[in-house]
């Protein structure tokens, strides 16, 4: 079950954060508000009425954060740029030099320590001013996002060589515009997510081409996006309908974005077929899933240099037609999603730890997208507690997930290039506020100085990095040999145990 070995020499070990979740300084030095500022400031929206107003105060703690990154020994640090910190009103006529300075200090500090910055351009904190004109439902955002990205390439691209356009566009489209529990809280599960995803894909492609054309020749970096996915295990693997259902789940979740970008510029066939079919049943004049023109398909196809994904758990999927909200994204999929009650979980854990799902997922991606170079850009576990410095459950999680990733690399030939843990430190966990904790470092949110303390998992993770994987410890090797010639081998009994 346990496999020992190491990753290639240049494997990219990292940790991740995002701007809104750690920076704080929500209105410092001319930063504009984001949709998350607006949302968290309404009482009742977030668990415990927590906000990201101060968060980990990373806006004021560049040196502390750099010190801890160095101590971990990471090769890269994945963080995101706050669009409204750089363009307070979302547009490039409102450049905030203090925001630019902050990121320059961070990036320079990383480079000076030999840590590669891996920069996400959009991790959900849209400038409020752009939500006021319709957010991602307004296609002018394609142009505006491109102009923000262009500025970032121009300003930071001499030092940043790894860019990600969107973090989890699925969450933006579905959680923001489908179930609507994330801002902008649009509850339209049948239409809006498909339209928004369509815009996000075009925006991604646009930014990719800007980088490719204007910046790559001189800066020489790479660009992709981080897609979220859980492994889907068919409930009854011997039932072809469940296998199809699990595959449908993967296509609707990952393929929605990955199929256009990594395959042919278009949505997965199963999405086109089912959404089109159900739209017809509704007597709609056209499919709720928008259609790309041939030119758009050509423009979108191939717009990522490497495959990046975030994963936390696995799901059990079975085919069903009952209890689905009519004509919704869920209904279009005809599946029911659960978890297996035998999978490891503690009352405190956010998700079930299903490490073997990581290996299957990596293999699925390898097969489906023809063996692309892969980076795991988020993986980790949330524990519902205020303080978990002695976090054995997290060590178990990392040890087993990384080991399955190692098997995928060594035994299955998956082209895995990097692993980035979520998260560098405890941070603002969206609707859940400061509970659960995902960090390798504990942050004391009751203390105005927001002191950070390495958890045991940080020590463990740094050991994995130092070893470049999980090599067999020398003392634990199986010992082969013989006892002395006259060694006395026998068996034993006792009268009372063997006699009637």
User: Annotated catalytic, 378?
Assistant: yes
Say how many C-beta atoms besides its own lie within 10 A of residue 141's C-beta: 23
Candidates 438, 445, 460, 461; binder of ligand BGC (CB under 6 A) is: 438
Residues between 231 and 270 that touch ligand BGC (CB under 6 A): none
Report the nearest approach of ligand BGC to the CB of residue 315 (Å). 14
Structure tokens at 481: 């040999």
* Cβ-based nearer residue to ligand BGC, 13 or 422: 422
Task: Tell whether residue 378 is a contact of ligand BGC (CB under 6 A).
Answer: yes
Cα–Cα distance list, 236 to 8, 87, 232, 241, 463 (Å): 37, 51, 12, 9, 39
* Cβ-based nearer residue to ligand BGC, 156 or 422: 422
* Cβ-based nearer residue to ligand BGC, 96 or 423: 423
Report the nearest approach of ligand BGC to the CB of residue 490 (Å). 58
Cβ contact 26:433 at 8 Å: no
Say how many C-beta atoms besides its own lie within 10 A of residue 80's C-beta: 24
Residues between 320 and 359 that touch ligand BGC (CB under 6 A): none
DSSP-derived secondary structure for 376-388: EEE----B-SS--
- For the window 286-315, what string marks contact with ligand BGC as x by the rule CB under 6 A? ------------------------x-----
Distance CA 178, CA 195 (A): 11
Residue 197: half-sphere exposure toward Cβ, Cα within 13 Å? 34
Report the nearest approach of ligand BGC to the CB of residue 357 (Å). 16
User: 116-122 and 76-80: which strand pairing?
Assistant: parallel
- For the window 440-479, what string marks contact with ligand BGC as x by the rule CB under 6 A? ----------------------------------------
The label of the residue with tokens 């599960």 reads: 189
Report the nearest approach of ligand BGC to the CB of residue 441 (Å). 15
Residues between 140 and 179 that touch ligand BGC (CB under 6 A): 167-168
* Cβ-based nearer residue to ligand BGC, 96 or 310: 310
Task: Tell whether residue 422 is a contact of ligand BGC (CB under 6 A).
Answer: yes
Task: Tell whether residue 34 is a contact of ligand BGC (CB under 6 A).
Answer: no
* Cβ-based nearer residue to ligand BGC, 267 or 312: 312
* Cβ-based nearer residue to ligand BGC, 235 or 315: 315
Report the nearest approach of ligand BGC to the CB of residue 90 (Å). 21
Distance CA 363, CA 343 (A): 21
Distance CA 216, CA 277 (A): 42
Task: Tell whether residue 388 is a contact of ligand BGC (CB under 6 A).
Answer: no
Residues between 210 and 229 that touch ligand BGC (CB under 6 A): 228
Q: Which of 233, 378, 404, 429 is catalytic?
A: 378
DSSP-derived secondary structure for 151-220: HHHHHHTTT--EEEEEE-HHIIIIIHHTS--STT----TTTHHHHHHHHHHHHHHHHHHHIIIIIHHHH-
The residues, any chain, with a CB within 8 Å of residue 184's CB and separated by 6 or more, are 35, 131, 135, 176, 177
* Cβ-based nearer residue to ligand BGC, 192 or 227: 227
Distance CA 351, CA 168 (A): 18
Q: Which DSSP helix (H) or strand (E) runs through 6?
A: strand 5-6
Distance CA 230, CA 361 (A): 8
Candidates 429, 435, 439, 465; binder of ligand BGC (CB under 6 A) is: 429
Q: Which residues bind ligand BGC (CB under 6 A)?
A: 18, 21, 167-168, 228, 310, 378, 422, 429, 438
Active-site positions?
A: 378
């Amino acid at each position: 079950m346990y496999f020992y070995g190491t990753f290639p020499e240049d494997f990219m070990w990292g940790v991740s954060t995002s701007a809104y979740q750690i920076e704080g300084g929500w209105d410092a030095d001319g930063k504009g508000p984001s949709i998350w500022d607006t949302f968290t400031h309404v009482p009742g929206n977030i668990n415990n009425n927590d906000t990201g107003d101060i968060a980990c105060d990373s806006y004021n703690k560049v040196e502390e954060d750099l010190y801890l990154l160095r101590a971990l020994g990471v090769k890269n640090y994945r963080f995101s740029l706050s669009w409204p910190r750089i363009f307070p009103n979302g547009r490039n006529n409102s450049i905030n030099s203090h925001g630019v300075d902050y990121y320059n200090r961070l990036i320079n500090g990383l480079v000076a320590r030999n840590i590669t910055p891996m920069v996400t351009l959009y991790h959900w904190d849209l400038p409020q001013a752009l939500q006021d004109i319709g957010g991602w439902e307004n296609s002018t955002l394609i142009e505006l996002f491109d102009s923000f990205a262009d500025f970032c390439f121009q300003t930071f691209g001499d030092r940043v060589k790894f860019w990600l356009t969107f973090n989890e566009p699925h969450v933006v489209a579905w959680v923001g515009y489908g179930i609507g529990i994330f801002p902008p809280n649009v509850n339209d599960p049948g239409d809006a997510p498909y339209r928004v995803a369509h815009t996000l894909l075009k925006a991604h492609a646009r930014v990719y081409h800007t980088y490719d054309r204007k910046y790559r020749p001189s800066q020489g970096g790479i660009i992709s996006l981080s897609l979220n996915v859980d492994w889907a295990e068919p409930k009854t693997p011997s039932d072809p309908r469940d296998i199809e259902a699990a595959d449908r789940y993967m296509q609707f979740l990952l393929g929605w974005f990955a199929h256009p970008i990594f395959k042919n510029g278009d949505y997965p066939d199963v999405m086109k077929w089912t959404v089109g079919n159900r739209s017809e049943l509704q007597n709609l004049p056209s499919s709720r899933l928008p259609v790309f023109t041939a030119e758009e398909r050509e423009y979108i196809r191939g717009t990522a240099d490497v495959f990046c994904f975030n994963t936390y758990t696995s799901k059990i999927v079975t085919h069903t037609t009952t209890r689905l909200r009519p004509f919704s994204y869920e209904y279009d999929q005809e599946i029911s999603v659960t978890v297996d009650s035998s999978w490891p979980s503690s009352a405190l854990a956010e998700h079930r730890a299903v490490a073997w799902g990581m290996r299957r997922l990596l293999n699925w991606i390898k097969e489906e997208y023809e063996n692309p170079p892969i980076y795991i850009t988020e993986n980790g576990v949330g524990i519902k507690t205020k303080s978990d410095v002695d976090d054995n459950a997290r060590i178990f999680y990392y040890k087993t997930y990384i080991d399955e990733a190692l098997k995928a690399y060594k035994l299955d030939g998956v082209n895995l290039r990097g692993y980035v843990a979520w998260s560098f430190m405890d941070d603002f966990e969206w609707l859940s506020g400061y509970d659960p904790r995902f960090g390798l470092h504990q942050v004391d949110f009751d203390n105005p100085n927001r002191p950070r303390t390495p958890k045991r998992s940080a020590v463990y993770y740094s050991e994995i990095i130092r070893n470049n994987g999980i090599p067999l410890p020398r003392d634990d090797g199986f010992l082969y040999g013989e006892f002395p010639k006259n060694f006395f081998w026998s068996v034993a009994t006792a009268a009372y145990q063997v006699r009637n």
